[in-house]
């Protein structure tokens, strides 16, 4: 029996990963801030699929929270075959409109937690010569987005970080991949500006299915949806300054609504 660990497991794409992995027969470790939600999902997954679940309530924006998650997994004597770094958050507006504390938490969650979780769980994977890590990036990874500057920058980091690690560890039996969703029917997009909600929304299930398909092909990066794939090519074809200006204009209009 294999075991997967999913961060941000209480809603959206993370929640769908939990159900889809359990359906595939994985035991699942659920990590998120809200214990009540995690307990409900864990119980439902157990009843539906008969797998083991482990709940670890943890705010990964806090320093060294990843180490605490790792310690709890070790205490359960579990080996994580598949790590899904899904937890993330974003803010909208000018940099100075958001508090230092909130910006710090965003970077800690979107970047630091991913790095720490990856490094902690990767070591045993290398020792065993097997394992998979999925880092949830974003369509925002491919271009700057004024008025969501921190979020886009953190997701660009995740994409670059993952592509680098993919090459470092592919000869050691480890598959590391980034998945880049676009507009998805999740709580994140319920409060996102209209300017980034362009085109038809994809479902969390579609994102997860895209991910599993890409895993089977040993890809380093996968983009969910054909339209999103085409959109991701634009920064390669057009000047970055032009992309930034258009994004800024669209963001300004949507924030005025």
The neighbouring-strand residues paired with 30 are 6, 55
| CA distance linking residue 161 with residue 110, whole number of Å | 12
The token duo for 128 is: 């065993």
| CA distance linking residue 231 with residue 112, whole number of Å | 28
The token duo for 230 is: 């085409």
Given the residues 19, 26, 147, 151, select the one marked as catalytic: 151
Q: What is the largest CA-CA distance in the chain?
A: 53
Check if 54 is active-site: no
| Sequence-separated contacts (24+) of 38-47 with Cβ below 8 Å | 38/9, 38/10, 41/9, 41/10, 41/15, 45/18, 45/19
Residues serving a catalytic function are 151
């Amino acid at each position: 029996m294999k075991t997967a660990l999913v961060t941000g497991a209480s809603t959206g794409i993370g929640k769908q990963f939990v159900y889809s992995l359990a359906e595939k027969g994985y035991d699942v470790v659920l990590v998120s801030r809200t214990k009540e939600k995690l307990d409900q999902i864990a119980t439902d997954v157990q009843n539906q699929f008969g797998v083991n679940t482990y709940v670890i309530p943890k705010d990964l924006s806090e320093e060294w929270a990843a180490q605490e998650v790792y310690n709890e997994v070790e205490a359960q004597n579990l080996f994580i075959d598949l790590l899904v770094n899904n937890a993330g958050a974003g803010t909208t507006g000018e940099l100075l409109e958001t508090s230092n504390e909130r910006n710090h938490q965003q970077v800690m969650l979107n970047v630091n937690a991913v790095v720490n979780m990856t490094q902690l769980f990767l070591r045993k994977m290398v020792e065993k010569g097997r394992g998979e890590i999925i880092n949830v990036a974003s369509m925002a990874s491919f271009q700057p987005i004024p008025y969501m500057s921190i979020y886009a920058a953190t997701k660009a980091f995740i994409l670059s970080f993952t592509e680098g690690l993919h090459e470092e560890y592919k000869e050691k039996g480890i598959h590391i991949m980034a998945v880049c969703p676009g507009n998805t029917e999740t709580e994140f997009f319920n409060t996102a500006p209209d300017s980034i909600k362009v085109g038809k929304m994809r479902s969390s299930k579609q994102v997860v299915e895209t991910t599993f398909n890409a895993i089977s092909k040993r890809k380093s990066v996968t983009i969910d949806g054909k339209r999103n794939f085409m959109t991701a090519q634009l920064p390669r074809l057009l000047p970055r300054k032009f992309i930034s200006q258009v994004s800024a204009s669209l963001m300004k209009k949507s924030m005025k609504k």
